[in-house]
């Protein structure tokens, strides 16, 4: 894998993951009561696609650092590992939700009904995502692999995610901001991640074009 291809793959995967997440998150707010099965399954499918793209993103990012700044491969490996754990945890949560919806003969709100996902989507995911973002921030702020704003924003988002880790002590009402499965803990964090991934993906992809052009020149 060349540096140009690693940048292009990182960027394309980040953009694709962000696009799926940006479409997915609003679907959680379409219905005030239990949503129809089609709504739940559609947003879960979008989430699965987004997480598959996220797996590619974190893997390509590690390969990019390995080739451009091998001294920071350890931090990129932490970012990759925690990103993969985050994706796995969220995929398990989605599987539990989808199974409950498919097996039930009437509309349910899986964000309330499927209690096993409360801290998977919440505290556990926030901790893993916080570690992932902190590792990305460390790599980017100490290298020139991507613009410095990527590293600084990663640190800020890491702190915000870590601030939501204690939310498991604050109940299970999705309408509450800071509940274990609250809209702040889950949906808001997902929305912020999606737009950050979009910006980073665009930056990485544009850097691959500049690198290609400089090599051609």
d(Cα 100, Cα 200) in Å, to the nearest integer? 35
Q: List, for residues 196-210, the tens digit of each pLDDT value.
A: 999 999 999 999 988
What tens digit of pLDDT does each residue of 5-26 get? 999 999 999 999 999 999 998 8
- Residue 216: band (very low, low, confident or very high) from pLDDT cuts 50, 70, 90: low
d(CA 40, CA 216): 48
Which carries the bigger pLDDT value, residue 34 or residue 154? 154
Of 121, 196, 213, 108, the residue nearest 158 (C-alpha): 196
Q: How far is CA 79 from CA 4, 7, 94, 180, in A?
A: 20, 16, 22, 25
Does pTM top 0.85 for this prediction? yes
Query: 79-136 pLDDT, tens per residue?
Result: 999 999 999 999 999 999 999 999 998 899 898 889 889 999 999 999 999 999 999 9
| pLDDT at position 28 | 87
């Amino acid at each position: 894998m060349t540096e140009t291809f690693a940048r292009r793959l990182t960027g394309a995967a980040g953009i694709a993951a962000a696009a799926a997440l940006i479409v997915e998150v609003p679907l959680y707010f379409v219905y005030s009561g239990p949503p129809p099965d089609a709504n739940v399954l559609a947003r879960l499918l979008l989430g699965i696609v987004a997480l598959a793209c996220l797996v590619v993103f974190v893997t390509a990012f590690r390969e990019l650092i390995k080739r451009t700044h091998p001294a920071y491969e350890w931090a990129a490996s932490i970012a990759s590992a925690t990103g993969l754990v985050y994706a796995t945890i969220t995929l398990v949560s989605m599987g539990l939700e989808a199974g409950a919806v498919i097996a039930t003969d009437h509309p349910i709100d899986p964000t309330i009904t499927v209690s096993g996902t409360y801290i998977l989507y919440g505290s556990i995911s926030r901790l893993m995502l916080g570690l992932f973002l902190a590792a990305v921030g460390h790599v980017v702020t100490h290298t020139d692999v991507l613009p410095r704003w990527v590293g600084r924003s990663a640190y800020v988002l890491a702190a915000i995610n870590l601030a939501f880790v204690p939310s498991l002590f604050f109940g299970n009402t999705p309408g509450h901001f800071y509940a274990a499965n609250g809209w702040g803990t889950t949906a808001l964090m997902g929305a912020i991640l999606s737009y950050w991934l979009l910006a980073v993906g665009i930056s990485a992809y544009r850097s691959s074009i500049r690198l290609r052009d400089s090599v051609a020149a």
